[in-house]
């Protein structure tokens, strides 16, 4: 085994210099392998999650810099198992039969390409989503909402329930259709192989990012006082460290594999839906739309509290933030508006918190799709990572909540008042295959 690969790519001094680089807005880390004189410096390590480490440090009231050794150890293990930006790879666990359909290692190579011939992710995605999938590329700060940070494993628009991971088809749908009303374009000129390469790389960055977060969390709590990963330790100690890490990775990978089992098919109701009306069922559709309108402004559905009684996004709710922002602000006891307290976190990658804007239904920007089934899932499951809650679905009118047909009435009302906006912008990139 090459010992140079196992030596800390990031020392304490380097951690501080990298944080300084973040403060200057740099998007790439220049990392050297200390002590390996036969190797030249490389610019291929994924950016460590300094933000989550600092948030964990503050949330657990630890000493300043107490988690720096954890960052060093976690980066060593991540490089050993997941490779580098220039040469990503899969841990042996993810090559086992149970996970073989999750990520193709060959697709990772297509996504990143080579330094001389950058792949499609480097060409088209890194400027917004960042090299590590951290949602903080060079173009990110000017956008509202910010580009998605994949590392929490949370995806808004999917066919699976709120707390489940998406299926790969959900990510493909976003790539092919874009997200209306945002800076996320549609990629309709790429080959199927390139699309699948991007899908796999997004899953890779998300799973890798979740694993990194889990290592930091466990090191700060359950494994406190123990080395996370020390390749120079005695064999039995090292085996224990690797076993713990493998268990953490298995738990994360299992959630991705199980997501397909969580996808449900919802039969359409007996009454017509917008787009299926005929002369014979027109009155029935009008009745459904009226029921949906009444539900929209009712206390039990409470849609108008955020979206407004006119469905224009002008409700009376107080400003709120997404889960990516709350993860390093309110979750650790800091208000997103407390700019002074946020300074050490923003120095480590946090971007200025932006309050959310409830969707204007009448504008018709349905980022998760505009079919009746798409909207039904948004209402039933809510939108992960956002304050949009799941509906309180009940089995009968005898219980407080919404029955299934109520959700379809809401779908009809929403579709009846929504405009059809222009499609998302197209990328200029075309397939190279």
Task: Report the pLDDT value the prediction gives residue 431, as an integer from 0 to 100.
Answer: 60
Kindly report the number of other CB atoms within 10 A of residue 232's CB atom: 10
Task: Report the pLDDT value the prediction gives residue 7, as an integer from 0 to 100.
Answer: 38
Task: Report the pLDDT value the prediction gives residue 286, as an integer from 0 to 100.
Answer: 98
- 197-244 tens-digit pLDDT: 999 999 999 999 999 999 999 999 998 889 999 999 999 999 999 999
Task: Report the pLDDT value the prediction gives residue 27, as an integer from 0 to 100.
Answer: 39
- CATH number at 282-317+358-417: 1.10.760.10
Task: Report the pLDDT value the prediction gives residue 32, as an integer from 0 to 100.
Answer: 33
Q: How far apart are CA 23 and CA 258, in angstroms?
A: 39
Task: Report the pLDDT value the prediction gives residue 18, as an integer from 0 to 100.
Answer: 57
Q: Which residue, 131, 150, 135, is CA-closest to 46?
A: 131
CB 160 within 8 A of CB 375: no
Kindly report the number of other CB atoms within 10 A of residue 264's CB atom: 11
SS3 of the chain? CCHHHHCCCCCHHHHHHHHHHHHCCCCCCCECCCCCCCCCCECCCCCCCHHHHHHHHHHCCCCCCCCHHHHHHHHHHHHHHHECCCCECCCHHHHCHHHCCCCCHHHHHHHHECCCCECHHHHHCHHHHCCCCCCCCCCCCCCCCCCCCHHHCCCCCCCCCCCCCCCHHHHHHHHHHCCCCCCCCECCCCCHHHHHHHHHHHHHHHHHHHHHHHHHHHHHCCCCCCCCCCCCCCHHHHHHHHHHHHHHHHHHHHHHHHHHHHCCCCCCCCCCCCCCCCCCCHHHHHHHHHHHHHHHCCCCCCCHHHHCCCCCCCCCCCCCCCHHHHCCCHHHCCCCCCHHHHHHHHCCCCCCCCCCCCCCHHHCCCCCCCCHHHHHHHHHHCCCCCCCCCCCECCCCCCCCECHHHHHHHHHHHHHHCCCCCCCCECCCCCCC
Please calculate the CA angle 117-119-191 and round it to the nearest 5 degrees: 120
Task: Report the pLDDT value the prediction gives residue 11, as an integer from 0 to 100.
Answer: 54
- 249-303 tens-digit pLDDT: 999 999 999 999 999 999 999 999 999 999 999 999 999 999 999 999 999 999 9
Task: Report the pLDDT value the prediction gives residue 310, as an integer from 0 to 100.
Answer: 96
Low-confidence ranges of the chain (pLDDT < 70): 1-44, 426-433
pTM: 0.89
CB 270 within 8 A of CB 276: no
Q: Per this entry, what is the length of the chain?
A: 433
Q: How far apart are CA 349 and CA 132, in angstroms?
A: 12
Residues of the chain with CATH 1.10.760.10: 282-317+358-417
CB 14 within 8 A of CB 41: no
Task: Report the pLDDT value the prediction gives residue 393, as an integer from 0 to 100.
Answer: 96
- Tell me the CA distances in angstroms from 279 to 266, 268, 371, 412, 417, one per residue in order: 26, 20, 22, 17, 20
Task: Report the pLDDT value the prediction gives residue 44, as an integer from 0 to 100.
Answer: 58
CB-based contacts of 228: which residues, under 8 Å, 6+ apart? 69, 70, 73, 74, 77, 215, 218, 219, 241, 245
Task: Report the pLDDT value the prediction gives residue 249, as an integer from 0 to 100.
Answer: 99
């Amino acid at each position: 085994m090459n010992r140079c690969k196992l030596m800390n790519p990031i020392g304490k001094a380097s951690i501080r210099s990298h944080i300084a680089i973040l403060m200057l807005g740099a998007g790439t880390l220049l990392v050297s392998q200390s002590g390996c004189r036969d190797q030249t410096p490389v610019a291929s390590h994924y950016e460590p999650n300094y933000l989550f480490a600092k948030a964990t440090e503050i949330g657990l009231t630890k000493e300043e810099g107490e988690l720096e050794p954890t960052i060093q150890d976690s980066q060593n293990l991540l490089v050993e198992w997941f490779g580098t930006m220039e040469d990503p790879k899969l841990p042996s666990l993810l090559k086992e039969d149970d996970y073989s359909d999750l990520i193709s290692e060959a697709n990772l190579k297509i996504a990143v390409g080579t330094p001389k011939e950058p792949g499609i992710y480097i060409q088209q995605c890194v400027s917004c989503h960042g090299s590590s999938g951290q949602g903080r590329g060079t173009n990110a700060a000017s956008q509202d909402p910010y580009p998605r940070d994949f590392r929490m494993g949370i995806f808004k628009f999917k066919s699976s329930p709120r707390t489940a991971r998406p299926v790969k088809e959900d990510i493909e749908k976003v790539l092919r259709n874009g997200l209306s009303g945002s800076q996320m374009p549609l990629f309709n000129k790429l080959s199927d192989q390139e699309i699948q390469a991007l899908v796999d790389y997004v899953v890779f960055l998300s799973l890798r990012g979740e694993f990194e977060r889990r290592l930091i969390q466990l090191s700060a709590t359950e494994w406190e006082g123990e080395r996370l990963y020390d390749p120079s330790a005695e064999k039995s100690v090292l085996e224990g460290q690797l076993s713990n890490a493998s268990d953490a990775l298995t738990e994360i990978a299992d959630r991705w594999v199980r997501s397909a089992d969580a996808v449900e098919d919802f039969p359409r109701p007996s009454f017509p839906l917008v787009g299926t009306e005929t002369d014979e069922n027109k009155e029935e559709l009008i009745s459904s739309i009226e029921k949906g309108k009444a539900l929209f402004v009712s206390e039990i559905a409470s849609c108008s509290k955020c979206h407004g009684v006119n469905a224009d996004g002008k409700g009376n709710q107080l400003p709120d933030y997404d889960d990516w922002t709350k993860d390093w602000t309110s979750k650790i006891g800091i208000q997103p508006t407390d700019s002074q307290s946020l300074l050490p976190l923003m120095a480590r990658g946090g971007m200025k918190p932006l309050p959310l804007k409830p969707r204007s239904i009448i504008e018709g920007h349905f980022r998760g799709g505009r079919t009746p089934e798409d909207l039904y899932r948004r209402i039933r499951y809510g939108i992960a990572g956002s304050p949009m809650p799941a509906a309180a679905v009940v089995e009968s009118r005898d219980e407080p909540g919404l029955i299934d047909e109520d959700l379809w009435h809401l779908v009809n009302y929403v579709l009846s008042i929504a405009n059809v906006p222009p499609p998302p912008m197209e990328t200029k990139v075309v397939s190279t295959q």
